[in-house]
Structure 1
Amino acid sequence: MAKKVVPEAARRRRRPTRSGTVLSEQIIVRAALRVLREHGSAGLTVRRLGTALGADPSTLYRYFAGMDELTRAIGDELMGRALDSWAATGDWRVDLRALGLAVHASYLAHPQAAVLTASRVTGRPREIAVDETILGILRRAGLSDAAAVHAYHAFIDQSLAFAALDAGSLALTDEARTEDEAMWQSTYARLPAASHPNIAATAPLLARRMPHSAYPAVLEMLLEHVAAQLAGAAG
């Protein structure tokens, strides 16, 4: 006989935790973000999360099927925060730039969570809202559906790839990050022109530029590409 499915609302705990908090998905996700910030992705466990919530660890399973579902919910929260900080202007280029920077900033605000979730497709409401918004901007700008999907793919993957890359750097210890950044001065700037003429010629520029994210510059390249597509279609 098939096991009776308990409705989601009935599974959820209504009694306060030991700290007096009535749990919800959002409260659990916010607690998970705190645990990630303090202990890293390896430290995000059901037991540690239960301690942070002041609840029995098994309570998590009233809200999420497991840690993988919680991971997707964390990614969805970061996407939602990006959308919450963004406002449309009606100018496709301004709007895409601002939304890309908002996504990047939202993930970098929680680097450990970004490393854990940037490669995931959550399929949850807030991520879907971001995707709908991006596609809407591109289609209203005048791109065909095929071109809009192509640009959307490049835009969202680029945003998340740089979020993961830059968050990975922020997730390092201060000592390791400082050592990496100093490498442009301690190693690259000292390479001889005879064997490495191109690096030697650009070493001061590399030392100033490389410790910073390339995302804003690469985002502008993508926007230029979309603008060229629109100009070509108009022509």
Structure 2
Amino acid sequence: MAKPLLSSDTIFDEALRILAEQGAAGLTIRTLATQLRCSNSTLYQQVGSVEQLTRGVVAHAFSRLEIAFDDDAVWEIAVQSWCLALRGALLAQPELCKLMTVADRGVVIDYAERLLVVLERDGFSRARAIEIGGILAHVTLSMSLSDIAAPGEWDDPRVFATTVRWLIHGMALTRAEELLGGARSDPPATTR
């Protein structure tokens, strides 16, 4: 009699357990199949390639994260809180982050949507809120993942906090220019 198929939750939960115990290098199809008591080919049939397994594990982990930020605050405080909370969640799971690539940027969409609500509530257009959310997600993911991949002088939390403050300052200037009648939001080109 054939063994029943495993649910994707079962597969990804076991993958996360292996990741926690053995790190990113320990998460292989062979190890996962052994732990699930199935063949490598059965696992490939259920999850696809190693790349698909990895993307699925990252998405599964993020779907279970509870990332809280101060969404009742004014937008400047909410943005700072959002960036710091996302960074904190990433830094708390370095082995998971070692699996992440730019292909995983979509895992923060639900979290970013919560920030867009705050930005729209405080007067940003939907289009501008989406642009801001994308930039903040990119900066937060990029800086956090690079700090995990290559720790050093740049992973000082003050560098990230300063970057976020500068982004907020730029967003505030752009917003003020837009409120003053659609003034140019890009800085003028400089000449030598």
Is 1:226 matched up with 2:171?
yes
Give the whole-Å Cα distance in 2 for the aligned partners of 1:158 and 1:227: 17
Partner SS state of residue 102, structure 2:
coil
Shift of residue 157 of structure 1?
0.5
RMSD between aligned residues: 3.0
Deviation at 1:164, TM superposition (A): 0.8
CA distance in structure 2 between the aligned counterparts of 1:163 and 1:118, rounded to whole angstroms: 12
Whether the aligned pair in 1 keeps the contact of 2:33 and 2:40 (CA below 8 Å) is yes
1:95 and 1:104 map into 2 onto residues whose CA distance is 14
Correspondence for 1:112 among 95, 100, 109: 95
Question: Please, which of 147, 150, 157 is the counterpart of residue 131 of structure 2?
Answer: 150
Map Cα deviations across residues 105-142 of structure 1 (whole Å, 9 max, x no partner): 2222221221221422365xx64312322333333332
Aligned residue type for 2:83: G
Q: Which residue matches 1:212?
A: 156
Secondary structure in 2 aligned to 1:89?
coil
Assess if the C-alpha contact under 8 Å between 2:16 and 2:61 holds in 1. no
Largest Rg, 1 or 2: 1
Of the structure 1 ranges 143-152 and 219-228, higher mean CA displacement relative to structure 2 is found in: 143-152
What is the identity percentage for the equivalent residue pairs of Structure 1 and Structure 2?
27
Judging changes above 3 Å, is the alpha-carbon distance between structure 1 residues 154 and 120 closer, same or farther for their aligned structure 2 residues? same
Number of equivalenced pairs? 176
Alignment CA distance shift 1:102-1:75 (3 Å):
farther
**Separation in structure 2 between the aligned mates of residue 224 and residue 143 of structure 1, nearest angstrom:** 15
1:40 Cα offset (Å): 4.1
Report the TM-score, using the length of structure 2 for normalisation: 0.72
Q: Following the alignment from structure 1 to structure 2, what is the Cα–Cα distance between the partners of residues 76 and 24? A: 15
The residue type equivalent to 1:219 in the other structure is V
The CA distance in 2 between the partners of 1:101 and 1:74, in whole Å, is 23
Cα pair distance change 1:145/1:152, threshold 3 Å:
same
